[in-house]
Structure 1
Amino acid sequence: MRKIELVWAIILSVATAGCVGGNKAPANELITVDVNASYPTKELTLQSFMEVEYIPLETTDEFITRGSVKAIGKSMLLVTNQGTNGDIFIYTREGKALRKVNRLGQSGEEYSQITFITLDEDNNEMFITDYPGRKVIVYDLMGNFRRSFSFSDTSYYNFIANYDGDNLICYKGYSPTMETEESYHLLISKKDGSITRKIQIPFEKTQTPVWTKEGATITPGFSRTIPTQAVWTLLRGSSDTIYNYLPDQTMLPIIARTPSIHSMEPQVFLYPTAMTDRYYFMRVLTKEFDLEKMKGFSTRELMYDKQEKAIFEYTLYNDDFVDKREVSWPSENSNSSIAAFWPLQAPNLVEAYEEGKLKGKLKEVASELDEESNPVIMLVKYRKEETENI
């Protein structure tokens, strides 16, 4: 235990030093969240503090997709179907169809499954994470093979994202629990997959949100790497503290949860879903599951308001629906300029348009659709100086 306390003291010291030396990352206060407490409620609309953009995906005979967005860049979107046919649809950011790539196969230059796609527009590359093959395969944006590299030892790389010109950031986990003594965040080389840096979060003992019983394993949506504009927010289920990983590679604790994850039964996990200049959005997840009913992992949505210095349970709405449709932050995202994205299916939008339930930008987009159209991708983007616009 003294070793953990020592590591914690070092992190606090380094993080504090990193915040006063001209670091461009925004300063953050450390807040404490009681995962058992009841909080007052608040309603928010996305449009009040974020920019919302709608991108209708062009539909052609060759471009028919359910709109599972895998990566978003400055000038393009990479989309797949929800099945396993291996198609990667490359669109412009405006939704114009550019090309379709499919390298599904069993050779050394092909993928057996598309688990994640990481886009690197600056180097004209995409990184395909292939879990069954236990590797990452790199192609140019025309689909030509460039290189590949394997996961280290028996681990799997999760939540892989573009970190900088030379490195990817990811979480190294082990199946099935993903949380072990050897799990940690990594920076890995884009060139050959070698480990550039290990980012280790101190914890007392291993805990995992993965539920296992009677030979069944249930893994809830639970991202451990969240891009938040100038920094990366990192967490582990085994730690009672959530950190920002700063550009100078120091860690700043931003959220401490109570009671400790190590003292709870059933365990209640806390993880961030979106972080803006004003709000910390978080999800509370209880590790309970009924195998017979195939139901469990109840959740609550919490939000910390920096202006009010208070925690709320919240409901979030899309104000481009007349009846203010409720939305929920997704569990995963790998783009630092975009907080969230969802596919909106064309038949649903056509029906809502005909019933007069849409307004604003979404109404304009839906007026051009028919039921056979590809989905419309809804992007939620960070707004600068959001606190002045609420």
Structure 2
Amino acid sequence: MKNKITTLAVILFVLAGCRQSGTQDDLVSIDPTATYPEKELILQDFMDVEYIPLETNDEFVTQGVVMAIGKQFILTKNWSNDGNIFVFDRKTGKALRKINRMGKGPEEYGHLTDIVLDEENNQLFINCFSTKKILVYDLFGNFKRSFNHAENIRYVNVFNYDTDNLICYNELTLYKDGENKGNDSFHMIISKQDGSVTRNISIPFDVIKTPAVQEGDGFAATFVPPLIPYQNNWLLVETSSDTVYNYISKEDKLIPFLVKKTTTNPEIFLTMGTLTDRFYFMKTVKRIFDFTTGRGFPVNNLMYDRQENAVFKPAVLNGDFIKRKTADMTSHPLNSEIAAFQNLEAFQLAEAYKNDKLKGKLKEIAAGLNEESNPVIMLMKYKK
């Protein structure tokens, strides 16, 4: 049986290399311990960039932590757990409404862990980490229903999957370091109606490895995104596996997408960021933490260039800044239209405008900002 499984894995790896690369015969391999050459890119050379200044008024002062972006709306919250959800117009940034259903009642959330915007059904799905519940509201904040996380599961990284389902990850794997996986599956698709598990997606591996460090009574963990939207499919990352998989939704099929060289002492994890036809942006996270300083889990950004069939340490520069300003290509991959987004703080833009360090549309927007303004959301969209 073991030989059959091994043979199947080899076949999948070969197929994946041909399917994903076009010009490659082998699966892309990343050595997180290697030193790669630097490569500088201009963002506007391979992305269409759109700026959306979020309207500021007495009722709409927000730190602008973006939780969801749809075709009609942008949803943000504050860093503090105050329960506010700010709804802005996607095209203009106009402030539309503020929703707050925070509390301890059956129709209220205690924490805004994830917000899923379902514009097709005119609903918001609020994942509440503290109560292990998902609460459903309409787009004006009226309560519709709620359901509990499945038994022995705590959902994180919740996304809209299709009309009837969400896709998410079981965060409780974080506390199972060193245990055997057994028959457990950590990626799953769940019903929007009652939270029941529609489908488990099982990534093959044996022993659980988590992005956490324990030293005596001390415990520290970081977040390695396990779900990355990729065109109309999903890249699935599992810190226990050296392989990133492309999950073909319609076929319920896992195809190896990229492989990381095995590392130990310390373990180095890898997750994906923004992906274009040519560039795969990714980052590595080293499993080390210093409890005396409270610092750890250092990150290293990498990029695979399909055209050159080579890995680089990237510096992606925003061409609308005269002074060197890099764009974040790993933190917020989004969907098949918008590759990624990034917050641009108003006080920094106002200062750059004052010093004549901006150009183009961004300069026009910054002319109307001050240090108290809401952030500007930069959308990085696939070129048509």
TM-score, normalised to structure 2's length?
0.91
What amino acid does structure 2 have at the position aligned with 1:348?
Answer: Q
Corresponding residue for 2:114? Answer: 116
State the alpha-carbon separation in 1 of the partners of residues 104 and 98 from structure 2.
19
Deviations 1:82-120 (A, max 9, x none): 111111111110201111111011111110111110110
1:49 matches 2:19: no
**Aligned in 2, Cα 1:17/1:256: closer, same or farther, shift over 3 Å?**
closer
Of the three residues 32, 36, 57, the one matched with 1:35 is 32
Q: How does 1:335-354 map to 2 (within 5 A)?
A: 335-354=335-354
Q: Give the secondary-structure state (helix, strand or coil) at the position aligned to 1:349.
A: helix
Of the three residues 235, 251, 255, the one matched with 2:237 is 235
Of the three residues 190, 193, 208, the one matched with 2:192 is 190
What amino acid does structure 2 have at the position aligned with 1:169?
Answer: I
Kindly indicate whether the alpha-carbon contact (under 8 Å) linking 2:211 and 2:223 is maintained by their aligned counterparts in 1: no
Deviations 1:226-259 (A, max 9, x none): 001122110100101111111322111011111x
State the alpha-carbon separation in 1 of the partners of residues 103 and 4 from structure 2.
49
**Aligned in 2, Cα 1:33/1:19: closer, same or farther, shift over 3 Å?**
closer
Kindly indicate whether the alpha-carbon contact (under 8 Å) linking 2:328 and 2:342 is maintained by their aligned counterparts in 1: no
**Aligned in 2, Cα 1:15/1:299: closer, same or farther, shift over 3 Å?**
closer
Kindly indicate whether the alpha-carbon contact (under 8 Å) linking 2:174 and 2:211 is maintained by their aligned counterparts in 1: no
1:377 matches 2:380: no
Q: How does 1:84-95 map to 2 (within 5 A)?
A: 84-93=81-90, 94-95=92-93
Kindly indicate whether the alpha-carbon contact (under 8 Å) linking 1:45 and 1:316 is maintained by their aligned counterparts in 2: yes
Give the stretch that moved more between structures: 97-106 or 36-45. Answer: 36-45
**Aligned in 2, Cα 1:31/1:17: closer, same or farther, shift over 3 Å?**
closer
Kindly indicate whether the alpha-carbon contact (under 8 Å) linking 1:70 and 1:116 is maintained by their aligned counterparts in 2: yes
Kindly indicate whether the alpha-carbon contact (under 8 Å) linking 2:176 and 2:208 is maintained by their aligned counterparts in 1: no
**Superposition deviation, residue 304 in structure 1:** 0.9
Kindly indicate whether the alpha-carbon contact (under 8 Å) linking 1:71 and 1:118 is maintained by their aligned counterparts in 2: yes
Q: Give the secondary-structure state (helix, strand or coil) at the position aligned to 1:103.
A: coil
Of the three residues 256, 259, 270, the one matched with 2:259 is 256
Deviations 1:124-149 (A, max 9, x none): 00100001110100101011111111
Corresponding residue for 1:169? Answer: 167
Which runs of no fewer than 5 residues in structure 1 stay unpaired?
385-390
Corresponding residue for 2:365? Answer: 365
Corresponding residue for 1:317? Answer: 317
State the alpha-carbon separation in 2 of the partners of residues 112 and 153 from structure 1.
19
State the alpha-carbon separation in 2 of the partners of residues 26 and 74 from structure 1.
30
Kindly indicate whether the alpha-carbon contact (under 8 Å) linking 1:43 and 1:315 is maintained by their aligned counterparts in 2: yes
Kindly indicate whether the alpha-carbon contact (under 8 Å) linking 1:170 and 1:225 is maintained by their aligned counterparts in 2: yes
State the alpha-carbon separation in 1 of the partners of residues 271 and 298 from structure 2.
14
Corresponding residue for 1:269? Answer: 269
Q: Give the secondary-structure state (helix, strand or coil) at the position aligned to 1:36.
A: coil
State the alpha-carbon separation in 1 of the partners of residues 297 and 14 from structure 2.
36
CA RMSD of aligned residues (A): 2.4
State the alpha-carbon separation in 2 of the partners of residues 166 and 15 from structure 1.
32
**Aligned in 2, Cα 1:324/1:8: closer, same or farther, shift over 3 Å?**
farther
Corresponding residue for 2:290? Answer: 290
What amino acid does structure 2 have at the position aligned with 1:272?
Answer: M
State the alpha-carbon separation in 2 of the partners of residues 156 and 246 from structure 1.
24
Percent pairwise identity: 44
**Superposition deviation, residue 339 in structure 1:** 2.6
Deviations 1:160-189 (A, max 9, x none): 101111111111120643766335110111
State the alpha-carbon separation in 2 of the partners of residues 158 and 106 from structure 1.
21
Q: How does 1:99-138 map to 2 (within 5 A)?
A: 99-138=97-136
Q: Give the secondary-structure state (helix, strand or coil) at the position aligned to 1:218.
A: strand
**Superposition deviation, residue 296 in structure 1:** 2.0
**Aligned in 2, Cα 1:289/1:17: closer, same or farther, shift over 3 Å?**
closer
Q: Give the secondary-structure state (helix, strand or coil) at the position aligned to 1:327.
A: coil
Which runs of no fewer than 5 residues in structure 2 stay unpaired?
none
Kindly indicate whether the alpha-carbon contact (under 8 Å) linking 1:12 and 1:253 is maintained by their aligned counterparts in 2: no
State the alpha-carbon separation in 1 of the partners of residues 335 and 215 from structure 2.
35
What amino acid does structure 2 have at the position aligned with 1:251?
Answer: L
State the alpha-carbon separation in 1 of the partners of residues 51 and 130 from structure 2.
34
Give the stretch that moved more between structures: 78-87 or 207-216. Answer: 207-216
State the alpha-carbon separation in 2 of the partners of residues 18 and 282 from structure 1.
18
**Superposition deviation, residue 204 in structure 1:** 2.7
Q: Give the secondary-structure state (helix, strand or coil) at the position aligned to 2:381.
A: strand
